[in-house]
Structure formats: C-alpha cells, structure tokens
Amino acid sequence: MILNRISLTHFKNYRQSEPIFHPKLNIITGLNGSGKTNLLDAIYYLCFCKSYFQTSDTQNILHEEGFFRLEGHFCQKSNNRKTIISSAYQKRSKKIIARNQVPYTSLTEHIGFCPLILIAPDDIQLINSGSSERRRLMDGTLSQFDATYLVNLMHYKKNLRQRNASLKNFASTQSFDEALLQSYDAQLVKYAPKLHQSRQEFTQNLSPIFQKFYNQLANHQEVASLEYRSSLKDNDFAVMLQQNQMKDRLLQRTSDGIHKDDLAFKLGDFPLKKLGSQGQKKSFLIALKLSFYEFIQQQKQVAPLLLLDDIFDKLDEERTQRLLEIVTQEPFGQIFITDTQLDRLQVILQRLHLSFKHFKISKGEIEEETVF
C-alpha cells in the first residue's frame, strides 16, 4: 500500500498542508513540537479512524477552529488501484469516514483496508504498564487481517460491559438476577474460546518472526522471547465464571476471562521490564512491531505502511544502521521516519545508497521538500 499524498485541514497544529510523498522512504524532521508526529498521526487516523495519541476527536482540531478534515490518496501497488480515504469531524457531530466519497455505515468495515504499523516512543508503555496495553496491541494487529476476530471481540466486550454493569446494579440495589447473569455468561463463553484460539495461534506463528528481527537488531547478543498467557489455556471458561460468581459480585466486575490475557516479554529467563536496558527494551519493541508488520504482510499479501516516530534516540549508530538496512528491504514497503535532525540519518542512508524525500516541518508547515 502506498500513500501518494495527504491533505490536512485544521488537524492539530496544521492549518492547511498537502505533502506529496516518496513511494519508498520519507524522512520528516523538525524541532520537538513542530508537527512531525502530528503528520504521522494524520496518516494513522486515515487507516484506523482514530488518533494514535488522542482519545477525543475534539483534541485533534486546530485551536479556535470548529472542525478538521483529512484526505489520503492511496494506491495498491500490486494492481495500481487508487483509492481516496477521507475523514471529517466537526465539534458535537459524528465523524464521517469515506472511501471514494462513499461514507462507511460502520467504521469496522474500514479497519484493515490500509494496514499500518506505527512505532513510537510511547510504545515503552507496552513494557512498563499493565497487560491492557499489550492486549490492545494484539487486538489491533489481529483486527487488521481478520475481520471475524474484530467482530467476535466487539461482541465479547459488549457482553462484558453489560455483565459488569449488572454486577454493579446488583450491589447498589441489593438484588440478584441469576438468569440475567447466566445469559451474559453464555455469550462470553460463546466468543472467548474463539478469541483465545486466535491469539494463541497468532503468538505461536509470530514468535519465530520476532526472534529473527531481534537477532538482527541485537546482533545475536541476547535471547528474547514472547509468551502468551491466558487463564483459558487449561481451564473451562464456563466453569470459571460459575466458580467466580460470588467473587465477581463482591468485586462488582468480571474477575477472569480473555480480557485478562497478557503477552509476556522476556530477555533470557527473566522479565524484560526488570532486566532490560533502555537500548534492549527499544530493540525488543522495534523487533516486536516489525514482526507484526511481516505477519500482516504475509496474511494480507499487502505491504503495510510503516511509521517510525523518533525511535532512534536510544539506539546507537550500529543498531540504527541495522534497523534501516532491515526496513528498506523486502518485504517492507513505504516508510515514514521522523527525527529532530537529518544529519545522522542522512549519513547512514547515503552509506546504504538509498534515495528518499525529506520534509522539514516548522509550526505545522512544511518549510522544505527535497529529494535525495
């Protein structure tokens, strides 16, 4: 998938901009706060119908304006099929996502059409935070190539919310409706094993790809691994829900299920969170995201867009060069890289004999476009 150009109107700190991109490698530089990351976020928004960094669409609107609009001109390289994806949001209105000027009736219809992987500094939370961030990463990746998984996940989450709301209501009203609770249990049991199986197969297939990329980045100096953890592995979910009923009523929430699954990160035999240095953690996260990229490419037979946001800060020059060598070869497609300065990247890119387009950003405006 190639993004030929994008139009930003009142998006974050961009009043109006319409950059035309290089089909392979795009370098975006500027001072912190200039709008480099905002440009990547606009690309992400067109692919996922939401911002990577903001939970509220109102926060994406340029200050003192009432709306934003994005438009991306995509081209699928294999068949040269061109598609225009647009997104518009006005305060206190419903956002509209359209493909070739035809609005989607459901945003889930769009997920996976423009596959994308973003690597950003905030990804460190995947290591340092709780399991919810890692589940969200698995779910977001699986949903890009498996529409059935996304539908099953939405059904599970809907019934989980309803079950938790009922548990809270039982506590506040000092009542209990076992039939109602069992109806929610039946729906959770219907979808949970399907989601568990998809996650398990995904992790099993992903692990050797991840290890390949980590070995390339770390030059075979360390052994890193992934481990999928779920209470459904050795237990019957229906039995678990029944056994946990009294505990769930006391906690006023569903205490176990696939919404508690985790993806454990290990360096050797120890947790990465406790043992890994900053460089090792960054290499681990990059290898993880690159393995997601290759897995999606294999499943969809389409090379996703790859966005690298300011990821070279904690990498030495040797690992930076190895990363650039990896992502500029097959199976990787179009790449967008942000950094505060061009010099250190340019030296490596010239050493690798790579052509690219450079965009210099300042205060939400593109000051300079140069092809090297």
Q: Render pLDDT for 267-291 as a digit per residue (tens, 0 to 9).
A: 988 999 988 888 889 889 999 999 9
Residue 232 DSSP SS3: coil
- Mean pLDDT over each residue of the chain, to the nearest integer: 93
CB count within 10 Å of CB 348 equals 17
Which pLDDT value is given to residue 277? 86
Residue 340 DSSP SS3: coil
Lowest mean pLDDT among 109-123, 150-164, 208-222, 297-311: 208-222
Residue 183 has pLDDT above 80, yes or no: yes
| Widest distance between CA atoms in the chain | 71
**Residue from 334, 249, 326, 232 nearest 26 by CA:** 334
Residue 322 has pLDDT above 90, yes or no: no
Q: What is the pTM of this model?
A: 0.88
Q: What span, in angstroms and rounded, lies between the C-alpha atoms of 276 and 261?
A: 23
Q: What span, in angstroms and rounded, lies between the C-alpha atoms of 331 and 298?
A: 9
Residue 352 has pLDDT above 90, yes or no: no
- DSSP conformation class of 219: T
Residue 207 has pLDDT above 90, yes or no: yes
Side chain identity, residue 149: Y
Residue 366 has pLDDT above 80, yes or no: yes
**Residue from 7, 11, 197 nearest 90 by CA:** 11
Average pLDDT of the segment spanning 113-118? 94
Q: Render pLDDT for 243-257 as a digit per residue (tens, 0 to 9).
A: 999 999 999 999 999
Model confidence at 317, pLDDT cuts 50, 70, 90, reads confident
CB count within 10 Å of CB 255 equals 15
What distance lies between CA 353 and its chain's CA centroid? Answer: 30
- The string of DSSP codes covering 73-92 is EEEETTTTEEEEEEEEEETT
Q: How far apart are the first and last CA of the chain?
A: 22
For the 125-301 domain, the top CATH level (class) is mainly alpha
Average pLDDT of the segment spanning 27-50? 95
Residue 210 has pLDDT above 70, yes or no: yes
Residue 321 has pLDDT above 90, yes or no: no
Model confidence at 314, pLDDT cuts 50, 70, 90, reads low
**Residue from 172, 332, 190, 316 nearest 252 by CA:** 172
Q: Render pLDDT for 289-309 as a digit per residue (tens, 0 to 9).
A: 999 999 999 999 999 999 999
Helix 131-145 crosses helix 147-173 at what angle (to 10 degrees)? 140
Which pLDDT value is given to residue 315? 75
- The string of DSSP codes covering 277-322 is -HHHHHHHHHHHHHHHHHHHHHHHSSPPEEEEES--TTS-HHHHHH
Is the preceding omega at residue 115 within 30 degrees of 0, hence cis?
no
Say if CB 170 and CB 177 are below 8 A apart: yes
Side chain identity, residue 282: K
Beta bridge partners of 224: 267
Cβ-count burial of 96 within 10 angstroms (0-12 exposed, 13-18 middle, 19+ buried)?
middle
Q: What span, in angstroms and rounded, lies between the C-alpha atoms of 243 and 185?
A: 12
The C-alpha angle 319, 325, 328, rounded to 5 degrees, equals 135
Q: What span, in angstroms and rounded, lies between the C-alpha atoms of 39 and 284?
A: 25
Percent of the chain at pLDDT above 90? 76
Count CA atoms within 13 Å of residue 124 on its CB side: 14
Domain residue spans in the chain? 1-115+302-372, 125-301
- The CATH classification number of 1-115+302-372 equals 3.40.50.300
